[in-house]
Amino acid sequence: MANGLFPQSNIERDKGSQQCELKVIDNQIRVAEIPTTTILQDEKPSEKDFTCRFGTLIKIREKLIEELKNEICCAIAYGSTFCEDFCTNSDFDILLFLKDDSISKLFKLRKIKENFQAEGVKIDFNVHSKTETPELRKECFWHNNRSLYFQKEVTLYGLVLIGESPFLHNDFNVEELKKESIKVVSSLLYQARKLLINRDINQGERITFMKWCIYAVLYALSSKGIVTKTKTEALELFPEYYSLDINPIIFLKAKKENNISDDLLEVAYKFLLQLDNKLFEDYKNGLK
């Protein structure tokens, strides 16, 4: 349960920062107090950059409360927002569980997104209704094309802005996580092929390509029951468990520096292809 602002495994809490119980009582909105000083492990962004991200999140939270009021069960910032691969092209991923997910509420979210976009802030709202929580849906919970690892990802790398996290269970069956990992990496490879076929890839899409490779690494390690504190740790650990031709640490560096050549795209595609084959071969051999 996310009673504090950050999971202990990912963030070293500042001793002076406050923790708070995040509970929804009746129709009252309970919000987390966002500290302005927090210590990230590994590669630390500049103090100005990190404080700026918190300031942006406070503005996003205020606008959500203003527009949606008590319709919000939970709001969580996740993705690269607090990770070492955050870059100038990164958006703020906001996961929402709403009491009312009618089309009018979705249009309000679109308006918020457009207003922030005009100020140079990109937001990616990801919406579920209050009936779609893991607690209610159990093994049928699905977020886009993933489930188990997503819940662990949000627990590790997320920050509760409003309400209480619905991701109460952190332990999953490794075999089920292994099958999900194979499916997700296969899906990432499929998306990469579609992108390469359909059009010339712009810079934002090149960054997305690098992100797919990083996520593929996280899923591959999770299929062996390994979940790291940071993405850098995962990428450095990966060669110990998978003997591929390509060391994926190059994708993190390229994403952060926003320097992705056509040659690197080819390398990234080969990496996804090799990893997809390796994961399935390992799974198939395990069934014998």
pLDDT in tens, 203-254: 889 999 999 999 999 999 999 988 888 889 999 999 999 999 999 999 999 9
Q: What is the pLDDT of residues 99-130, one digit of tens each?
A: 988 999 999 999 999 999 999 999 999 999 99
pLDDT score for 19: 29
- Flag whether 1 is in a domain: no
pLDDT beneath 70, residues of the chain: 1-51, 81-82, 84-85, 87, 168-171, 288
Domain interval for residue 231: 174-287
| Number of compact structural domains in the chain | 2
Domain limit, last residue, from 103, 135, 163: 163
Q: CA separation (Å) from 111 to 71, 115, 157, 160, 221?
A: 16, 6, 27, 22, 38
Query: CA–CA separation, 129 vs 74, rounded Å?
Result: 10
Residues 6+ apart with CB under 8 A from 219: 149, 180, 181, 184, 185
* Cβ pair 126, 95 in contact under 8 A: yes
CB neighbourhood size of 224 (10 A): 14
- Flag whether 87 is in a domain: yes
